[in-house]
Structure 1
Amino acid sequence: MKPDAAMIFAAGFGTRMGVLTQSTPKPMIKISNRPLIDYALDLVAAADVKTTVVNVHYLPEQIEQHLADTNVQTIRETDKILETGGGLKNALPILGKNPVFTLNSDAIWTGTNPLTVLRNHWNPKTMDGLLALIPLQNAQEYSGAGDFFCDEQGTIARRGQSRSAPFVFSGAQIIKTDMLKDIKTPSFSLNVLWNEMLKNNRLHGVIHNGGWVDVGHPNGIITAENELAKHV
């Protein structure tokens, strides 16, 4: 089963952006005169998926209006943010039953389309999830200690008690969604699914060797614009 749908997460409050998100949702902040979410949409369009869904919650009208004349479908999370797992589960009636791409709306990528890399490495016989990982030294504007170890075969392990890990989860992945039906909590992280997949050696990783910038805070805007300028 190849993924034929994509979910872009765009429901967050963007609190790390400070005053920039007081009246503008983070996905609509301009990067080189384009809304941040458009860069994620470009990746999805280039991957030639059949269905694209964007979840919204904070100042949703701005994103809905921006996407009104496109083929992208939006889905509101009205009462509260459902997090990544709950948001994905909420969108399943639109996304369908096949594995899906998921992508965060607050990163800028350069180099090979990460969704293409994921699709080329996807093996549903051995995988329930495949994460696009960034080498820690290449994760611009990221301030954490890394998320995963990953060997040459794509076998991954969490950082655990280690002080740091060499790879960062980029926000892009392919994931099977059938286990979502067993989770009754409305709001939850996809980490819940990852933990089950890791127990069964069904979660794998692939390394993105291009550029990647975390645009979750104001400093990321300038860095992202500089990264894009290198590839004009």
Structure 2
Amino acid sequence: MKAMVLAAGFGTRLRPYTLKRPKPLFPVLDTPILLHTLTQLRRNGVEGIVVNAHHLREQVKVLLHDHEDVQVQMEDVELGTGGGLRLAQPYFAEAPFLAVNGDIVHDFDLAALYQAHCASDAEVTMLLHDCPRFNNVRVDGEGRIVGFTGPAGEGERLLAFTGVQVLNPAVLNPIPAGVFYNSIDCYAEVIKSGGRIQSLIVSGHFWTDMGTPADYLKLHEDILLKKLPGFSSGNADTPFYLGKDLVLGAGVSMQDWVSIGHGATIGEGASLTRVVVWDGARVAPGSILVDSIITEGE
């Protein structure tokens, strides 16, 4: 099983933070979310991964330079999800492959999704769930996807795409090479022509789309307070993650939950409540920070 991580987007909803780092490189407990994703793929049996990169792409290339099982697809122009998948198509030959968005955290059984797709006659199998904030995929009573805009018709329901899917490479053939294209537009044409885009519906799982600053902070809250599997805070007894080689000034206080990256400096008397401090960042003495992301000197 091979996989592609879609990591080329601009992350506009996370500005100004994405002006400093691409979203897949945002640290989660001091480790870029992209590295968490790669670890999860390998644990699910993936051998051979493509990661596409456009926005601040050199940072992605540097991060992954020693990952021998990863091929970084450097995209000089914005290609969108469909265009990025189309460019990577030769890497996958004719075998179905897994594609995951580079800004999500979840606990799905990816191997089971892959097996379900291979046992079907679908051209694409999209992992869906009920998430009212994002529900816009129309699914019929047999789990077949019939559209990507509401409202639901008779015998249909609206569900949300998790950002995880398995594709037959040939489904990408109609996408013109080297231009911006959304994969959903490709799938809509497949449906219109009678092709099968199937859903696999899941529930009882953890999933988050790290799309906004509030989502990013909530992810850390979930990890540090709920102790999500797959993430180690380094100290199971407290909701505080402290990276290596950081400097904590005298009288620093932390409340609720806090994550501080390696090499950071927290000035004397600072107070942090529900705060993520990136690696190497500095918090000025006496600062009072609540629900904040600190990326550099304050």
Structure 2 length as normaliser, TM-score?
Answer: 0.68
User: Counterpart in 1 of 2:184?
Assistant: 191
| More relative contact order, 1 or 2 (CA 8 Å, 6+ apart) | 1
Q: 2:168 pairs with 172, 176, 190, which one?
A: 176
Equivalent residues of 2:53, 2:74 under 8 A apart: yes
The code of the aligned residue for 2:49 comes to: T
Equivalent residues of 2:113, 2:166 under 8 A apart: yes
**Shift in Å, 1:224:** 1.3
**Shift in Å, 1:205:** 0.6
Equivalent residues of 2:152, 2:158 under 8 A apart: no
Q: What CA distance in whole angstroms lies between the structure 2 residues aligned with 1:135 and 1:25?
A: 28
Q: 2:50 pairs with 36, 50, 53, which one?
A: 53
Q: 2:210 pairs with 196, 199, 215, which one?
A: 215
Task: Please say if 1:126 is aligned against 2:115.
Answer: no
Identity %: 27
Equivalent residues of 1:40, 1:104 under 8 A apart: no
Equivalent residues of 2:137, 2:150 under 8 A apart: no
**Shift in Å, 1:149:** 3.3
Equivalent residues of 1:133, 1:205 under 8 A apart: yes
User: Counterpart in 2 of 1:75?
Assistant: 73
Equivalent residues of 2:45, 2:111 under 8 A apart: no
Equivalent residues of 2:89, 2:172 under 8 A apart: no
The code of the aligned residue for 1:204 comes to: Q
Point out the structure with max Rg over C-alpha: 2
Equivalent residues of 1:134, 1:212 under 8 A apart: no
4+ residue runs of structure 1 moved beyond 6 angstroms?
Answer: none
Q: What CA distance in whole angstroms lies between the structure 2 residues aligned with 1:205 and 1:163?
A: 15
Q: What CA distance in whole angstroms lies between the structure 2 residues aligned with 1:19 and 1:38?
A: 22
Greater share of residues in strand:
2
Q: What CA distance in whole angstroms lies between the structure 2 residues aligned with 1:27 and 1:127?
A: 29
The code of the aligned residue for 1:74 comes to: V
Task: Please say if 1:63 is aligned against 2:52.
Answer: no
User: Counterpart in 1 of 2:198?
Assistant: 204
Q: What CA distance in whole angstroms lies between the structure 2 residues aligned with 1:42 and 1:161?
A: 35
User: Counterpart in 2 of 1:156?
Assistant: 145
**Shift in Å, 1:95:** 2.6
Q: What CA distance in whole angstroms lies between the structure 2 residues aligned with 1:225 and 1:106?
A: 14
User: Counterpart in 2 of 1:20?
Assistant: 17
Q: What CA distance in whole angstroms lies between the structure 2 residues aligned with 1:51 and 1:58?
A: 23
The code of the aligned residue for 1:76 comes to: M
In structure 2, stretches of 5+ residues that fail to align are 230-298
The code of the aligned residue for 2:165 comes to: Q
**Shift in Å, 1:223:** 1.5
User: CA offsets per residue over residues 129-179 of structure 1, 9 Å max, x none?
Assistant: 100112115xxxxx44x1223356322232534189631101100011213
Output the aligned Cα RMSD.
2.2
User: CA offsets per residue over residues 63-115 of structure 1, 9 Å max, x none?
Assistant: 1111111121101111x1111111111112323221111100111113x43x2
The code of the aligned residue for 1:181 comes to: N
Task: Please say if 1:7 is aligned against 2:1.
Answer: no
Q: What CA distance in whole angstroms lies between the structure 1 residues aligned with 2:147 and 2:174?
A: 23
SS at match of 1:16: helix
Equivalent residues of 2:86, 2:175 under 8 A apart: no
Q: 2:41 pairs with 44, 49, 58, which one?
A: 44
